[in-house]
Amino acid sequence: MITLKGKSVFGGVAIGKIAFYKRKEQQIKRIHVEDTQAEIKRFEEAKAEAIEQLKGLHEKALANVGEANAMIFEIHQMMLEDLDYNESIHNIITTQEVNAEYAVGTTADNFAAMFAAMDDAYMQGRAADVKDVSERLVAVLSGEGEGGLHTDEPAIIAADDLVPSETVQLDKSKVLGFATMYGSSNSHTAILARTMSIPAVIGLGEELSPNFDGKMAIIDGFSGCVYVDPDEETMKAMKEKQEEDRKQKELLNELKGKENVTKSGQKINLYANIGSISDIGLVLKNDAGGVGLFRSEFLYLENDTFPTEEQQFSVYKKAAESMAGKKVIIRTLDIGADKQVDYFELEKEENPALGYRAIRICLTRPEIFKTQLRALYRASAFGQIAIMFPMITSVWEVKKIKEIVEEVKKELREEGITFREDVEMGIMIETPAAVMVSRDLAKEVDFFSIGTNDLTQYTLAIDRQNLKLDPFYDPHHPAVLEMIRIAAESAHAEGKWIGICGELGADLELTETFLKMGIDELSVSPSMILPIRKKIRETE
């Protein structure tokens, strides 16, 4: 048995023979042409046909994976229409008097290299896209059909990597799962794979050999492992894991569309925690009522410099639109403590958990804060966005935040930019100080969300990053639960709602306790939505 370790893209267990994806090798030859205008016309006709193919793929993707994930094929159409891209191809044909295939291939190589060299992770990802659309063009020009999967029986698809157009065209009835040598968990391919619920592992490296074609294998999408020629013991264990997963999915599917209501009629909202726009598919797939925590700091962690207003606006807008009217609560940047970013140039601190972080950075560096707030308010015109502020300890902080918010709204009005005036504003309750003044804080905001990870850390005076202290770290500690109860009581006394977005929200042992406290919302990882719904519906 050979064990390969990679990165999980989507959980699940797939058992079957490996089929290596046979991609047509495009041998592009440089051919001298006499009539360059005729060659340009041939290119333009091929481009029109490629655009029609992409429109068809877009329609298919809309039906299979939804609008947000089908957008890649609209982006590919736009790439084919890009002026710089077209001008490069025209120039190479005209000046070098060569065939269109060669001009497209050369342009693709140049553009892909340019994108790959950029610092921005999003732009780096476009290198694969420009290659994908160019290969489609060359296939049309050379009269080749589209590549694809050719297997008579369901199989585990293996490849060096799969581009979006290949992934969406996979016949799901023939695909048990897929494994790739390369790829990124934030790529369009990974997003589509998650949304299509195909067990997948990427980044297996060149140990994933084409020599494995036809061999029996197992993908364990939960652990990120692929077993080639599995032994009897591994096969037995994986079949049991697969059966357990199947039963769980059946159970969860039965709960989709059901209310989060106890037997006695008490209702609670179930929302999802996400770290990036790519997680939206999981939110929808697991039937969450909304997004209760969008960790915006990942925009900063993934960048080499401060994300611009436009970058942030694009992400927040897409999140709002993708959730189609459901609430999306976006937490302003929570940098500091265990989340360090070099370009913030934060000084080394003796105790960063108690240091310069989150709202403390925002209030002392308002230019960073205002950029994010402008992007958030602009995006509010496209859906149900709410804004949440982390690490609050005092009423004055909230009042200062509200002053800055008013300045931003005034600027946007003067610039004639549309936004929603009634955006809900809430705060994280994650310090004992916030709990103790929670009644006063509730007068200033629309909602509370309890960050139980930090609240436990600060209440117990235990660094949650210190593994030596694990035996002492008790999130079920009576003091922690009492803090949550007090915050809930304060919120309700002022007519405000309260949720929990920390790890404790997904703790099934505490669901009933939270219901008794009157917690209005639980926000958890997408995979925990339906198990918690089950627990709620079974509770008296």
10 pairs with which residues across the strands? 200
pLDDT of residue 515 exceeding 50? yes
Local confidence band at 150 (pLDDT 50, 70, 90 cut-offs): low
CA angle 7, 8, 11 (to 5 degrees): 170
Q: How many CB atoms lie within 10 A of CB 35?
A: 10
Q: What is the pLDDT of residue 186?
A: 47
Distance CA 236, CA 83 (A): 56
Q: What is the pLDDT of residue 118?
A: 78
Q: How far is CA 216 from CA 211, 219, 389, in A?
A: 12, 10, 51
Distance CA 9, CA 197 (A): 10
Per-residue pLDDT tens for 249-298? 787 778 888 999 999 999 999 999 988 787 888 888 889 999 999 988 87
Class of the CATH domain delimited by 266-538: alpha beta
| Domains 2-19+155-232 and 266-538 equal at CATH topology level | no
Non-local (6+) Cβ contacts of 37 within 8 A are none
pLDDT of residue 66 exceeding 70? no
**Of 193 and 506, the one with more pLDDT:** 506
Q: What average pLDDT does this structure show over 61-69?
A: 67
**Of 135 and 408, the one with more pLDDT:** 408
Distance CA 86, CA 78 (A): 11
For the chain, the domains span 2-19+155-232, 36-141, 266-538
Q: Computed over its alpha carbons, how large is the radius of gyration of the chain?
A: 26
Local confidence band at 356 (pLDDT 50, 70, 90 cut-offs): confident
Taking Cα atoms as reference points, which of 390, 483, 496, 493 lies closest to residue 504?
A: 483
pLDDT of residue 114 exceeding 60? yes
Tokens coding 78? 């736009």
Between the CA atoms of 527, 311, 168 and 240, what dihedral angle is there, to the nearest 10 degrees? Answer: -20
Per-residue pLDDT tens for 208-231? 998 998 999 999 999 999 999 999
177 pairs with which residues across the strands? 156
Q: What is the pLDDT of residue 423?
A: 97
Distance CA 198, CA 200 (A): 6
Q: What is the pLDDT of residue 25?
A: 60
Question: Contact 398/429 with Cβ under 8 angstroms?
Answer: no
Strands, DSSP E only, in 276-390? 291-295, 327-331, 384-389
**Of 92 and 338, the one with more pLDDT:** 92
Q: Of residues 58, 76, 188, 225, which has the active-site annotation?
A: 188
Q: What is the pLDDT of residue 142?
A: 84
pLDDT of residue 167 exceeding 70? no
Distance CA 483, CA 485 (A): 5
Tokens 């589509």 identify what position?
192
Question: Contact 171/149 with Cβ under 8 angstroms?
Answer: yes
**Has 501 been annotated as catalytic?**
yes
**Has 362 been annotated as catalytic?**
no
Is CATH 3.40.50.1370 the right assignment for the domain spanning 2-19+155-232? no
Q: What is the pLDDT of residue 297?
A: 82
For the residues of 129-148, what is the DSSP string, one character each?
HHHHHHHHHHHHHTTPPPP-
**Of 528 and 208, the one with more pLDDT:** 208
Q: Largest Cα–Cα distance in the chain?
A: 85
Distance CA 356, CA 360 (A): 6
Q: What is the pLDDT of residue 198?
A: 77
- Tell me the average pLDDT of the chain: 87
Q: What average pLDDT does this structure show over 186-191?
A: 54
pLDDT of residue 166 exceeding 80? no
Local confidence band at 21 (pLDDT 50, 70, 90 cut-offs): confident
Backbone angles phi, psi at 18, to 5 degrees: -85, 135
Distance CA 186, CA 9 (A): 9
Question: Contact 293/270 with Cβ under 8 angstroms?
Answer: no
Architecture of domain 36-141: Orthogonal Bundle (1.10)
**Of 350 and 385, the one with more pLDDT:** 385
Q: What is the pLDDT of residue 42?
A: 95
- Mean pLDDT is highest, among 22-26, 52-56, 430-434, 506-510, for 430-434
Q: What is the pLDDT of residue 26?
A: 65
Tell me the residue length of the chain: 540
Which element (helix H / strand E) includes 234? helix 232-255
Q: Quick one: what percent of the chain has pLDDT higher than 70?
A: 88
Q: Model pTM?
A: 0.59
Non-local (6+) Cβ contacts of 161 within 8 A are 128, 180, 181, 182, 183, 189, 202
Q: How many CB atoms lie within 10 A of CB 404?
A: 15
